[in-house]
Amino acid sequence: MKKLLSADEIAEGVAGLAEQIARDYAGRPLTIVGVLTGCVVMLADLIRLVDLPLRLGWVQARSYRGTSTVGGVLTINADLLPDIKARDVLLVDDIFDTGRTLLELINQLDELHPASIRSAVLLEKEGRREVSVRPDYVAFHIPDEFVVGYGLDYNDLYRNLPYVAAFEAKDLESTDGWHQI
């Protein structure tokens, strides 16, 4: 694997997102909806830096399963979502790839009549967007590579890495091993 973002770089990027979010929502309560499971690490760091009254909720959206590095059918589970009617909502996800997941989540949340919906992501892959929607807050733009670490996984491994790394072809061939740099 090759390291794309160090733990220090990530901390600076998340702090920058927190500053923007706190400024944009100054004095207003905010409902943050995390997209499970990839955003958990970022969300834990982010909410400790956002000095606003906030509530948390969760939604599970996934299109990658097991060792696949290509998205499949999107499934969404909103059982852990609080009431968002007439509330400002910030949807937080780990990565913006094609944008199909974010677009579908925004469409579904919009049916619950929030006051507003914005989105924040740790990473946006360059050259992959297939939809007109873009995240409102982006910490980092990265090349079109399969990445792991800081919440992002491959076959349920690597989420706990404190940095973001790109898998190389040789890494993908070994699905049962643990590679760390």
Q: Tell me the two tokens of residue 36.
A: 């499970």
What is the reported pTM?
A: 0.87
CA distances to 42, 99, 100, 103 from 134, in Å: 19, 7, 10, 9
> 5-9, 56-60, 94-98, 155-159 — which one is most confidently predicted on average?
5-9
> 39-48, 97-106, 151-160 — which one is most confidently predicted on average?
39-48
Return the pLDDT at 108.
Answer: 87
Which one is predicted more confidently, 46 or 156?
46
Q: Tell me the two tokens of residue 64.
A: 């990658």
Confidence check: pLDDT of 80 > 90: no
Tell me if residue 97 is catalytic: yes
Catalytic residue among 97, 136, 171, 176: 97
CA distance 61 to 36: 7
Strand bridging mode 88-96 / 75-77 = unpaired
Confidence check: pLDDT of 168 > 90: no
Structural domains of the chain in order of their starting residue, each with its CATH number:
2-173 (3.40.50.2020)
Terminal-residue alpha carbon distance, the chain: 7
3-class SS at 163?
coil
Confidence check: pLDDT of 73 > 70: no
The partner residues of 164 in beta bridges, in order of sequence, read: 5
